[in-house]
Chains A and B, each alone.
Chain A
């Protein structure tokens, strides 16, 4: 009987939530994601005017997705690294190094595409273990370990390539960075891409319905039916829009397909696995995580291995797109990856960040590159504008976060 008094206050808050409250709460909880999406669309619209209508065209946006792929792949790993409270400065050099290994294996030793990729991934894993060892088991700050890595692997790139441009790649390897999914029929749009879009849509609907069913089974509150339907339709529209850009052009590039798979896998890792939860806990409060029985060293090790594997994947995509490996390949990519993650709301102090956010961040960075090239702005201005946007984005993030509490 005495318990009732207080329990009621809890229940009341939950059950009186009206449609308006729910809407207000979802907006408040996701305000950062929304502002980032709005900022991205804003940038697109501005470029649309400045480029006299070239920017928002299926052709250009398809290219933009393709160009952003390697940075976006890096950013997915960088989110985990930053969330765990570390940083990885070596990824640009790893991109160059693994790309150079691929190029040399194919041109000089005539390896097939699959063995080449496997060897590169093996090198990536070794690099990850090396860096993870120093960070996790020898407590050397990641900043130092990966700064050392940045130098060492750059040396490796020069050693492997001899400082010269190495090309060309096998055709099947090249396709990873340049190719598009083949078309099967003579329909006026890209059929296989449309099919993939359809599969995404169906998977999304099934996912939402299952989630709802399971929540009902547990007796938890669910969205009112009309809102739930609105949410699903909204999700379908987003998938539809993204896919239609590519459907009406040349279809989905392999690299973008790969990126989509990585986004899904890493979102699941970050949000649905115990490992992911541990990464957030360690970044949020290492001591509390340790006392909760989390094996911090193992988690940190795995974070660095995942990062280096992704850097290798990015290296493959990048080298394939350029169809060449050079001594400076991948230079400064670590900075773009960090900027993408941070623009996407990842905290440099650890403990906070999302994969979806960093993808939007990567698109922002790629859009700036792409739009300014279309405008024929020199590299000088590209750097200056990108720097300013990074600063602005983080400031807006901090400001909105303040008002949200």
Chain B
């Protein structure tokens, strides 16, 4: 048997107008954790979908060998039989079903077509323990947070007892603690002899967990190296095809007067109406300021800002004062009218109309600006979209491409463009750089600074502490629905933030 568990040779895959993979060669040694890096749209997810049979044999050219044997996969079942399991970039769980049902979906414990529920639940419990997810296996997926859902995905993949496990950006919606937990799981799996392919835009993580690193650019393999032979800077340079000297642009913001003031904001859970989610929160934002909002998953950051935006919660009470005038927001359209925009952390659910093209998505929240008395001017739509496609470097064959066909990071940029186009006074960004590559992150940071320079008040919720530290002028930290601390960027450190985030004083 060869040293390589997986060899993909001369893989070429074309979509209408895009050559997503161009003669890619990719080899993975048995028992290693192999990272796959590359810009948004480089072809990482496509390569993994070829490997797992999502794109069946015949729709691409090239060969796949597993343990030295040539394989032809016509569907996911085929690749699973060959020992490959994949966790997709976009979560693929059935929301209305329970955790246990999801874990064994398609591989049920059944005898004569009757499901053995006892075994299902007891096995699910065991696997959940393996991934250290402490929930009842009968819980429905809708009631779980994104991070917990990610763990269910991992549990599902583990349950298949695969030899080769593919994780496509598993950590993009995890907090640091959750990521650390994930790494622990991966190390245990590695000790059991499982090989992993790990895709991530977070290079620190890649260097922490991976043994070797392959870099893709524009659908071509650039290099494969042992982790110890290269460093982050080399990886970045190879990924983006140029040198990137800093991760964050220089801070030039000069915060002005207070533009938004929120007082005694209290929100109850819409599912459990007597449960307080946000408890009497007060804060303010200045013109031209970037206010970072830190906290652990479940601290209530998203709930706080979605409720301010008018799209979440029941029994919402408290005052919002915008530019000195008290305002009431009942629905998102009121907020947008007042110049408040909110970019959601969940782009598929709250951000995009996947079936529609790039231009319709970008202009959706500001159609009035490109229309006259109710009639849309298509050329204006295209002109504005083109502007954002180039300033955010959205990789798409045309503005008429359906968003569902874009890579994950480019989808994120489309939502970003939509909210930038509303020209807000207050821009709330919930995990704005989720799934975005290093080069593009820098571009987005620059845009945030430019907006701040124009006097926009920016609120940035982020679970990436370096981003919070690198971009914020001031940081508020939340824990269990309350603000537990506020620090200026000068005195902020990771330790201080974590201390407040865990509720300690």
A residues contacting B by CB (< 8 A) are: 2-3, 5-7, 9-10, 13-14, 25, 28-29, 214-215, 217-218, 220, 272-275, 277-278, 280-281, 284-285, 287-295, 351-352, 404-405
Q: Is the CB of A5 within 8 A of B376?
A: no
Q: Taking A214-B379, A274-B368 as contacts, is the C-beta distance between A293 and B337 under 8 angstroms?
A: yes
Q: Taking A291-B344, A293-B337 as contacts, is the C-beta distance between A13 and B397 under 8 angstroms?
A: yes
Q: Which residues of chain A are within 8 angstroms of B355 by Cβ–Cβ distance?
A: 284, 351-352
Cross-interface CB contact of B311 among A10, A14, A274, A290, cutoff 8 Å: A290
User: A5–B241 Cα gap in the complex (Å)?
Assistant: 8
Query: 6 closest pairs, A vs B, by CB?
Result: A284-B353, A293-B336, A292-B365, A293-B333, A285-B353, A274-B367
User: A26–B241 Cα gap in the complex (Å)?
Assistant: 34
User: A218–B381 Cα gap in the complex (Å)?
Assistant: 11
User: A277–B350 Cα gap in the complex (Å)?
Assistant: 17
Q: Is the CB of B393 within 8 A of A6?
A: yes
Q: 8 A-B Cβ contacts within 8 A? A: A5-B240, A7-B390, A277-B376, A289-B353, A290-B332, A292-B332, A294-B333, A404-B16
Q: Which residues of chain B are within 8 angstroms of A28 by Cβ–Cβ distance?
A: 16
Count residues of B near A (Cβ-Cβ below 8 Å). Answer: 49
Q: Taking A274-B367, A405-B405 as contacts, is the C-beta distance between A293 and B390 under 8 angstroms?
A: no
Q: Which residues of chain A are within 8 angstroms of B333 by Cβ–Cβ distance?
A: 293-295
Q: Which residues of chain A are within 8 angstroms of B364 by Cβ–Cβ distance?
A: 277, 281, 288-289, 292, 294
User: A223–B65 Cα gap in the complex (Å)?
Assistant: 45
Give residues of chain B (327-360) contacting chain A, Cβ–Cβ below 8 Å: 331-333, 335-337, 342, 344, 349-356, 360
Q: Is the CB of A9 within 8 A of B379?
A: no
User: A13–B332 Cα gap in the complex (Å)?
Assistant: 37
Q: Is the CB of B393 within 8 A of A3?
A: yes
Known contacts A272-B376, A274-B374; can you find 17 more A-B pairs with CB under 8 A? A9-B218, A25-B17, A28-B16, A217-B379, A218-B382, A273-B376, A275-B374, A277-B360, A277-B364, A284-B355, A284-B356, A287-B350, A288-B351, A288-B352, A289-B353, A293-B365, A404-B16
Residue ID in chain B nearest A403 by CB atoms: B59
Q: Which residues of chain B are within 8 angstroms of A2 by Cβ–Cβ distance?
A: 242
Nearest-neighbour CB distance to chain B for A206, whole angstroms, equals 17
Interface string of B416-432 (1 = CB under 8 A from A): 00100000000000000
Interface string of B367-396 (1 = CB under 8 A from A): 110010011101100110000011001011
Q: Which residues of chain A are within 8 angstroms of B389 by Cβ–Cβ distance?
A: 10
B398 at the interface (CB under 8 A from A): yes
Q: Which residues of chain A are within 8 angstroms of B351 by Cβ–Cβ distance?
A: 288, 291
Cross-interface CB contact of A218 among B342, B379, B396, cutoff 8 Å: B379
Q: Is the CB of A291 within 8 A of B390?
A: no
Nearest-neighbour CB distance to chain A for B397, whole angstroms, equals 5
User: A217–B374 Cα gap in the complex (Å)?
Assistant: 22
Q: Which residues of chain A are within 8 angstroms of B390 by Cβ–Cβ distance?
A: 3, 7, 10
User: A288–B414 Cα gap in the complex (Å)?
Assistant: 13
Q: Which residues of chain B are within 8 angstroms of A287 by Cβ–Cβ distance?
A: 349-350
Q: Which residues of chain A are within 8 angstroms of B383 by Cβ–Cβ distance?
A: 218
Q: Which residues of chain A are within 8 angstroms of B18 by Cβ–Cβ distance?
A: 13
Q: Which residues of chain B are within 8 angstroms of A5 by Cβ–Cβ distance?
A: 240-242
Q: Which residues of chain A are within 8 angstroms of B356 by Cβ–Cβ distance?
A: 280-281, 284, 351
Cross-interface CB contact of A291 among B241, B342, B397, B405, cutoff 8 Å: B342
Interface string of B289-307 (1 = CB under 8 A from A): 0000000000000000000
Cross-interface CB contact of B353 among A214, A215, A351, A405, cutoff 8 Å: A351
Q: Is the CB of A291 within 8 A of B350?
A: yes
Q: Taking A14-B398, A284-B355, A292-B364 as contacts, is the C-beta distance between A7 and B393 under 8 angstroms?
A: yes
Nearest-neighbour CB distance to chain B for A389, whole angstroms, equals 26
Q: Which residues of chain A are within 8 angstroms of B405 by Cβ–Cβ distance?
A: 405
Q: Is the CB of B395 within 8 A of A25?
A: no
Q: Is the CB of B311 within 8 A of A291?
A: yes
User: A281–B240 Cα gap in the complex (Å)?
Assistant: 34
User: A13–B400 Cα gap in the complex (Å)?
Assistant: 13
User: A13–B396 Cα gap in the complex (Å)?
Assistant: 9
User: A275–B242 Cα gap in the complex (Å)?
Assistant: 45
Q: Which residues of chain A are within 8 angstroms of B309 by Cβ–Cβ distance?
A: 291
Residue ID in chain A nearest B335 by CB atoms: A293
Give residues of chain B (147-166) contacting chain A, Cβ–Cβ below 8 Å: none
Q: Taking A285-B354, A292-B332, A351-B353 as contacts, is the C-beta distance between A277 and B367 under 8 angstroms?
A: yes
Specify which of B331, B344, B395 lies most central, judged by the most chain A CB atoms within 10 Å of its CB. B331
Q: Which residues of chain B are within 8 angstroms of A272 by Cβ–Cβ distance?
A: 375-376, 378
Q: Which residues of chain B are within 8 angstroms of A10 by Cβ–Cβ distance?
A: 389-390, 395-396
Q: Is the CB of B16 within 8 A of A220?
A: no
Q: Which residues of chain A are within 8 angstroms of B353 by Cβ–Cβ distance?
A: 280-281, 284-285, 288-289, 351
User: A248–B481 Cα gap in the complex (Å)?
Assistant: 76
